[in-house]
Each structure stands twice: as structure tokens, then as C-alpha cells.
Structure 1
Amino acid sequence: MSENQPTISDRIQRELDRLTRAERQLAHSILENYPASGLGPLATLAKDANVSAPTVARMVQKLGFKGYPEFQTELREELKSKAKNPIAKHDTWAEGAPSGHVLNRFTDAVIDNIRHTLGQIDPDDFDAACALIGDPERALYIVGGRITHTMAEYLFLHAQVIRASVTHIQSTSNAWPHYLLDVSEGDVFVIFDNRRYENNTLKLAEMAHAKGAKIILFTDQWRSPVHHLADFCFSSRIVVPSAWDSAATTLLLVETLISAIQDQNWAQTKDRTERLEDMFDQTKLFRKFT
């Protein structure tokens, strides 16, 4: 399986409206514990979803597979892709590197990632997530991991200007439980978590969820385990011809989010920006040419 091909999760979500009631019940059961739910015997999957074995066979065929064994083979390939480290990812691309300059190859991959990602996002869900993040009545917590902390910091820097009560939690820090002391029901957590998903991030999400917080997850095409707890989950395609995954699509979503929330309460955002600029002038942090 090529990492840029649709995942089985993608296929299920794309076909949901065309499935029968029993098949939809099965689909939701698979997604609930994806991909592990599909790795056992067919009879076990049918029992867990409370559907018949023929229902499983029919839905697998609707997803484009000849049978359950082929379905499972692709699931196992997805699991291998999830676990790849940078060296393994580089070797995958090196074996079949296409011709052409890296600038073109890389850009083509990013554009394809963006196109596929946007095709999977429900605009209403995105708007609802933005409304939560921009709501000044809710405290906002932003969390990233070893690599994704760059996305978290970028969002945090802008959100601080746009609204009050914003906290950046370093999930890799031993002090992150301290931040949970003041979390109230209805507060919002924006969490970034891509493959090689971090245990600290999942535990933090579980504890925030237990306190009644709303969780908005930005993850990859295979989806972090945090998605089971998330009110909104936005999956980005991340595979490019590199040993490292791409953050370009996630950054696009983050910058779009920033644009949306600044307009939700522009008067407040404008006032905070003017006060911040005044402080910059006082500190002479930036050079002025006028």
C-alpha cells in the first residue's frame, strides 16, 4: 500500500451514506477501535459489532476488497506505516524515487496532501471547532508533542493576541499535570498528535476529557488514539518524499483557524493588538523605519 493512498478509514467514511443500517453499525464499530478492530477473525468482528458474518463480507466488498483476508492485509500495511521511523520512511521513498527535481516532487506531494485533506473535512465541523476555540468564555489550552509542538507554539502565539485565557502546555514536560488543576468543564483543548503517538499526550487528553473539557484534535491520516476522546478531529495527509513527515497541510489548517477566530470578535482582537503594539513600541523590540 502506498502511504498516499486512501486509508481504510477514509474509504469507510466516504461510503457511509451508501451503506445499509447494519453495515453502518459495523462501520462505526470498526472506526471506534481502528485499526485494531479489524485485525481479528471475521466472526469476532461481526460479534463485536452485533451484525452477521455476511454483513461483514458485503461491506468489505463495498470498500473495494475481494474479501476479508485482503481487507486485513491492507490494515496490517497501515499499521506498518504508522510505526515507521525517519530512516525507514526515507528508504521507502529512495526505492522508487520518481524523476524530476526535488522541488517539484515535494511540492506535488504537498499539493496532493492538501487536496485530499480538504476533501475529507466537513466545513460545519471546522466552523464549530473555530467557535469553541475563539469563545472568550472558555479557557483555551494548546498541546503539542516532540515534533508537533511547533504547530502548538504557532497557534499559541497568535491565539494570545486574539483572545485572553490561553495556555500552552508542553506535553513532554513532567509538569503538565499542574495545568489540569484549573481546568473547568467546557474549557477547550487543542491537541496536535501525529504518528509515533505520544503516551503523555493521550494521558493528558484522558484527564482533560474526564474534567469535561472539549477536545479538538489535529492529527494525521491514521489518527492518533486521542481521536476516541475528541469532539472534533481533523486528519491531515502528511506523507512526502522525505525521511520526515510534512507539517504543511496541518499548518494550512492552523492558519485558516487563526483567520477564522480573529474575525469572531474583531473588536476585542483589534484592541488587544493595539495594546500589544504599544508595548512593542515601548520596549523598542522592533526597528521602525518611519
Structure 2
Amino acid sequence: MPDAALTISDLIQQRLDDLTRAERQLAHSILENYPASGLGPLTALAKDANVSVPTVARMVQKLGFKGYPEFQAELREELKAKVKNPIAKHDTWTGGAPSGHILNRFTDAVIDNIRHTLGQIEPATFDDACAMIAETDRHLYIVGGRLTHTLAEYLFLHMQVIRSQITHIQSTSNAWPHYLLDVKEGDVFVIFDVRRYENNTLKLAEMAHAKGARIILFTDQWRSPVHQLAQISFSSRIVVPSAWDSVATTLLLVETMISSVQNLNWSDTKSRMEELEEMFDQTKLFRKFT
């Protein structure tokens, strides 16, 4: 049985280079509609991927499963976890809560989330995302949902200082279609969407993608359906001993991205910072100790 901390999606992405051509074709087919793609009969999965039944059996074993039934059982467990609401999640962890203070248990879970998340991210891919966000000749749109709007706003406030041509969209607002009027091909959308994925966010992503926008997605280990439209997706581990999921790992990625983009555009960013500080002085927004 594979490492329980890894999703099947993680396992597939780890092993892509070791798969045959037909197995890679199957892998991509599974990921296109993950995890639902693997919940049907083995023959149906093989047919959808246009590969043979033995190819499915071989790849499942390469991922560390004894056979297709075990593979499917793991997918079903992932699907259950994907749709849990806060009450169900609370009931799950309290039943077998380990001894020790919540500070230690929560911190251990966050550190574990960070370790597994960073293990799945290619530095070159992260650099590509930062370079896209740093393109000041392209408009940057940042989108958050019911809870993730806080992460979106945090990124937006920093990017406002770093660069121009930037818009913050809240997909929970009825006015979000208005923002799409000015979207041009090549513009960049940074979208946050975690489990209990929001229909508005997916529809917004579909419409932006249809206009030629490029999408960078911050999601969880089960991946928002927006990932099928995204050029780059970052899947963060979010499970902690709480009724709510943790944003600590996603925030780490966001803050690292802010630092990287700041350095890429440092000349312009420095000028904007200096101008902003002059405005702060004029408005006396912050208290100064002299």
C-alpha cells in the first residue's frame, strides 16, 4: 500500500517519468477528471483512456496497489474526504485525537502539510508562475472565494505596491461578470479555490479561460475542478486537527511568491514603495516615533 499521506494524484505525478507511453496516456486521462475517472469499472477506464485492460492493471501496480479494487477503494476514501463539511471533519479528528496540547498537535500537522506540499512542487514551475505574475504589460486579476478571499486580498494588497494593472475580484459578489468585460488574451488570473469548491469560481475561470486568460490556481490536495483550465496549479495540504482546514501552507506559498515577484520587479517596486510612503506621510495614516 502506498504512503497514506500521498493522494493518488500525487503518486501519478511522481511516477510519470517511469511510465510507458500507454501508461502516461492512462495517467493523463485519470487526472483530467480526478478522482471520479477511476470510480467506474476497470474496462470503462481503459476504454476512456484508449488503452488496454492490462495497461490499467500494470499502472495500478506501479503506483503501489495490489490491484484495481484497492486502487478504487483509495479513490473513494479521497472522494469522501473531498466533500466533508466542517462538522464531519470535526467528528473525524476528535474520535482519535492523540494526547498532547493542541498547540503541538496543530503545529505538527501544519509542518507535515508544508513538507508534503513542497515535496510536490517543482521550483521551475513556481518560478514560471512568479514570472507570469510579474508581467506588468498584462493585467493581473486575483480571485478568492467565501473564505479564500482573505488570501486573495492579502496577495492583492502586496501586488498593488509591486505592480500596476491589477484587479481584485470576489467570486461571491454578483458583480464579478463585470470584471470580465476588459479581460484580454494573455492576461493572468490567480485563483484560490479549496474543497467545497465554489460554482461561481469555476464559472468565472471558464469564462476567463475562454477569453484567452492564463490561470494560476491555488487549491488543495484533492484539486479544484479549476485545475483543468489552469496553466499552473499549486496543491497545498490543508488537513489539521480542526473543524476547518488550514491555509498555513497556501499562505507560505503566497508570501514566497510575493517576495519573488518583488525581486523580479524591484526597480519599479522600489519607486512605487517610495511614492506610497510619501502618501502615507501626507495622510498621517501611521504614527511615527521621532
Superposition map of 1:33-182 within 5 A: 33-182=33-182
4+ residue runs of structure 1 moved beyond 3 angstroms? none
SS at match of 1:288: coil
The alpha carbon displacement at 1:165 in A equals 0.7
The alpha carbon displacement at 1:252 in A equals 0.2
Q: Deviations over 1:30-83 (max 9, x none)?
A: 011111110111111001111100110111111111111111111111111011
Partner Cα distance (1:160, 1:235) in 2: 25
Sort the Cα spacing of 1:173 and 1:45 in 2 relative to 1 into closer, same or farther, 3 A: same
Which residue type is aligned with residue 12 of structure 1? Answer: I
Partner Cα distance (1:183, 1:114) in 2: 34
Compute the RMSD of aligned alpha carbons: 1.4
Which ranges of structure 2 fall in alignment gaps of 5 or more residues? none
Matched, 1:203 2:203: yes
Sort the Cα spacing of 1:4 and 1:247 in 2 relative to 1 into closer, same or farther, 3 A: farther
Q: Which residue is 1:5 aligned to?
A: 5
Partner Cα distance (1:16, 1:265) in 2: 35
Partner Cα distance (2:151, 2:280) in 1: 24
Q: Report the TM-score, using the length of structure 1 for normalisation.
A: 0.98
**Does the CA contact (< 8 Å) of 1:4 and 1:239 recur in 2?**
no
Partner Cα distance (1:47, 1:110) in 2: 40
**Does the CA contact (< 8 Å) of 1:35 and 1:75 recur in 2?**
yes
Partner Cα distance (2:251, 2:265) in 1: 22
SS at match of 1:54: helix
Matched, 1:234 2:245: no
SS at match of 1:273: helix
The alpha carbon displacement at 1:4 in A equals 6.7
Matched, 1:250 2:250: yes
SS at match of 2:289: coil
Q: Deviations over 1:90-149 (max 9, x none)?
A: 111001101111111111110010010001001111101100101100100000000110
The alpha carbon displacement at 1:18 in A equals 1.3
The alpha carbon displacement at 1:259 in A equals 0.1
Mean Cα displacement is larger for which, 3-12 or 148-157? 3-12
Q: Report the TM-score, using the length of structure 2 for normalisation.
A: 0.98
Q: Which residue is 2:212 aligned to?
A: 212
Q: Deviations over 1:205-227 (max 9, x none)?
A: 00000000010000000000000
SS at match of 2:257: helix
Q: Deviations over 1:11-39 (max 9, x none)?
A: 11111111111111111110111111101
Partner Cα distance (1:118, 1:70) in 2: 27
Which residue type is aligned with residue 242 of structure 1? Answer: S
Which residue type is aligned with residue 172 of structure 2? Answer: T
Which residue type is aligned with residue 27 of structure 1? Answer: A
SS at match of 2:234: strand
Mean Cα displacement is larger for which, 157-166 or 65-74? 65-74
The alpha carbon displacement at 1:243 in A equals 0.6
Partner Cα distance (1:158, 1:113) in 2: 25
Superposition map of 1:262-281 within 5 A: 262-281=262-281
Partner Cα distance (2:82, 2:226) in 1: 15
Partner Cα distance (2:105, 2:40) in 1: 38
